[in-house]
Chain A
Amino acid sequence: MSTWDGLLTGFAFALQPGVLIYCLLGVTLGTFIGVLPGIGAMAAISLLLPITYYISAEAALIMLAGVYYGAQYGGAVSSILLRLPGTPQSAVTALDGYPLARQGRAGVALFTSMISSFAGSVIGIVVLVLLAGWLSRAAVAFGAADYAAMMVLGLVAASTIGSAHPAKGFAMIVFGMLLGCIGTDVNSGVQRFVMGRTEMLDGINLVALAMGLFGVAEVIGNVRDPDRQAVAGRIGLRAMAPERDDLKRMPLPVLRGSALGSFFGALPGTGSTLSSFLAYAVERRVARRPERFGQGAIEGVAGPEAANNSASITAFVPTLTLGIPGDPIMALMLGALVIHGVQPGPMMLETRPEMFWGLVASFGIGNLLLLILNLPLIGIWVSLLRIPFRWLYPAILIFVCLGVWSVRGLTFDIVMVAGIGLAGYLLALARFNPALLLLGFVLGPLIETNLRRALLISRGDPMVFLERPISAFFVVATAGLLVYSAIQAWRRRETPEPGGASADGP
């Protein structure tokens, strides 16, 4: 079956009313759980699993997938309005989305996020259709050394996020990496810094960390300073329509973000969190005036949102082409298929073409539905800001607790999020950037595990990082980036220009 025939079959399948309704159900649910801080696709899909036993395997997969990518749309909403990431992937969106909201441009930020999300998804779908085979080969070809080298590049590239004070940024990354050490060490099985608590054996929960650092810390900050609330601004189509200048700033970040997201999404285990961080870092690097970032740069919303949405589409590549789930949520969806007697993997394209192509077609349909659903919702979301603090913040705290609890069902995690929230507030007072802590936390353990695994497999030979072509490429790229940054910093010192105008140069 050619790609074209496949897509036709897929659309014919996915547009049947009995299937379409599940797609709509999935994306709608996804949007809402995405908006709710802490309650992620994992919890929603777990809850939906029993329902899937009663519908066809195809409809079940289409619905669950809808929740998965729909959550990426919703996640940005609370990030932008309340500096409270609905999903860890959208944490970076808060960096510029929230300043926009405080300037009364929440509608514009949400509009940008929705359009970028949609464009990112569409690009992700095109990549999935055209390059699925290539991406799945790349996913298998990536070994431990390649992951380690790639993560180091990612860390170096992203470390400039919010680097008004490089030392502070560096401190946050290192702190994040140290927090990432907590738990059972994969390589040795040694339990590190668990303080005798079984609950700590699997490390600090990413959701608890993200919710605490951003959400709870923000709530504490606002209680102390009630005038900080973002202004709702005008609501209505005109208010959310971006100005011409905003529109001009969007296409390139969306393209760059989608490229990053499409690639990283397809690699099992790296996921969309990294891609949104990298997209932000890249936008900041290529910007003519990087100092606008953190002050409400449209690019800082468009890039990451395009990235995490395209990643949520290409994340299906290893699952569909290899039967290898890229993250725990994918594993959950694979489980749902197995219960239906469907063996996911390379044979699916031949044995269940209507399922494969139906799912691909449903990505397109689902994203269109998401756009149609979300654009009118922008006004409603913005009006959330009109809710007085005394109502909004207790509600937020309840959702944060629910969300964190939903991951493992342990009260311990709620105590944890409270502690992290307090720490996050103190860090915010001292003007440390919590996004960098989160980045260090995500990347640190990945770098450590893969570095040590690579050396274990090479029997201790460090040359493995230069002998493997993929790894060598990343090592060289990292070195190049470091040299480039050093030269830039040196030049800036050589020719100090008044008013910081030096950063305007191309």
Chain B
Amino acid sequence: MTTRLTRRATLALAAAFAAAPALAQDGWPSGPLHVYVGFPAGSSPDTLARIVTEPLAERLGQPVVIENKPGAGGVIGIQQMLANAGDGLTFGTTINGPLTTAQRTMDDTGYDVDADIVPVTLIATSPLVLVVNAESDITDLQSFIDAAGAEPEALAYGSVGQGSGAHLTAELFADEAGVTMLHVPFTSYAEVTTSIAGGEIDAGFMAPSAALPLVDGGQLRMLGITSAEPFAQVPDVPVMAGRAGLPEDFRAELWNGFVAPAGTDAAIVERLTTEINDILADPAVQEQLLAIGWVAAPGTPAEMEERIAADTEMWGGVLDRIEAAE
């Protein structure tokens, strides 16, 4: 054989010997799928992965095993997916952080998003709500911005860590509103909500489901939401964009997507995109996702790639400003 092996020839060869089923759409999947999740069992990203992969297993006729590899804000999940890649049966679901900001906030993630990761589809997005103590004088977005603008760092806000979505969203908001706020990092929303309820800090951006128990209990108040449209889990909370001097396109969302390691056959990615989009079209699935604070956001690999690029740029800009201020 003197000719180079073309992709087509490889495929033919593989099909002929049936030795590399990962490359052939026929017969895929030949065994159980392994989906890596960078968060512990029972966490919101884990539950989301299970909601989507349960019907996926039925459709593919093979079990889907969730591999929980928590740590480093989800980065370990991606690393472990890449370390175990190569069989065409290894995938991952991840929140936005490991694909957009981790390269900036960590010394070395050990992977290159563009080169090592193939987007399959977004699964869902989650907006954040701005929360203050219910007994505070601040009753709406305008009075919040007024209070925050009274002097530099007049208000202190909590986040779930340096470089977390809650931190960056608050800094993006402060920048757009033309104020500076004092950042107090915590490690969990539970600590942030307790601190706001106890009157120790003033505010915080958080997932609606983290705030709801204390909002229902009359201890916290939600002022606005960072999505483009009202969120069904908290329908009464007004959208922030276009209000109190914020730009019309103000939007900050966390998202969760399905990814594959680079080298995964395009036909497999296409099949997964189709199946997951079908699953997300099911109202029952949408309802399950909403119960844990996510709204279904199906789409194409190209759309997810654009989202990664756009968010990397947007959050990168916020990180630039934070570093410049230090």
Contact = CB atoms under 8 A, between A and B. Distances in A.
A267 to B, nearest CB: 10
B186 A186 contact: yes
Contact of A457 (B70, B72, B200, B216): B200
B105 to A, nearest CB: 7
Contacts of B108: 196, 198
B193 interface: yes
Interface string A448-473: 00000100110100000000000000
Contact of B44 (A199, A335, A409): A335
A82 to B, nearest CB: 28
Interface in A162-214: 184, 186-189, 191, 194, 196, 198-199, 201-202
Interface in A258-275: 268-269
B194 A345 contact: no
B292 interface: yes
A339 B213 contact: no
Contacts of B195: 143-144
B216 to A, nearest CB: 5
A332 B42 contact: yes
A143 B67 CA distance: 37
A324 B219 CA distance: 12
Nearest to B68: A409
Contact of A323 (B76, B106, B214): B214
Given A196-B108, A269-B191, A457-B184, A188 B162 contact: yes
Interface residues of A, number: 52
Given A323-B217, A336-B42, A409-B67, A198 B110 contact: yes
B216 A189 contact: no
B44 A140 contact: no
Contact of B42 (A49, A142, A323, A344): A49
Interface string A22-58: 0000000000000000000010011101100000000
B214 A335 contact: no
A324 B193 contact: yes
A229 interface: no
Contact of A324 (B41, B75, B194): B194
Given A410-B69, A457-B201, A346 B216 contact: yes
A268 B42 contact: no
Interface string B44-70: 100100100000000000000001111
Interface in B135-191: 153, 156, 161-163, 182, 184-188, 190-191
A100 interface: no
B209 to A, nearest CB: 7
B10 interface: no
B180 to A, nearest CB: 13
B71 A344 contact: no
Interface in A329-366: 331-332, 335-336, 338-339, 341, 343-347
A347 B69 contact: no
Interface centre among B41, B108, B156, B219 (most CB of A within 10 A): B41
Contact of A268 (B43, B70, B185, B191): B191
Nearest to B197: A140
A250 interface: no
B218 to A, nearest CB: 8
A189 B70 contact: no
Contacts of A97: none
A328 interface: yes
B40 interface: yes
A184 B47 CA distance: 26
Interface in A59-117: none
B41 A198 contact: no
A322 B201 contact: no
A406 to B, nearest CB: 10
Interface of B: 40-44, 47, 50, 67-72, 75-76, 79-80, 105-110, 153, 156, 161-163, 182, 184-188, 190-191, 193-195, 197-198, 200-201, 209, 212-214, 216-219, 291-292
Given A199-B72, A324-B214, A457-B201, 14 more contacts: A46-B40, A49-B42, A140-B197, A196-B108, A323-B214, A324-B190, A331-B42, A335-B42, A338-B291, A341-B291, A345-B216, A409-B67, A456-B184, A457-B182
8 contacts: A184-B162, A187-B162, A198-B108, A199-B71, A201-B71, A335-B292, A345-B216, A457-B184
Q: Which 4 A-B pairs have the closest CB atoms?
A: A323-B213, A189-B162, A345-B213, A346-B217
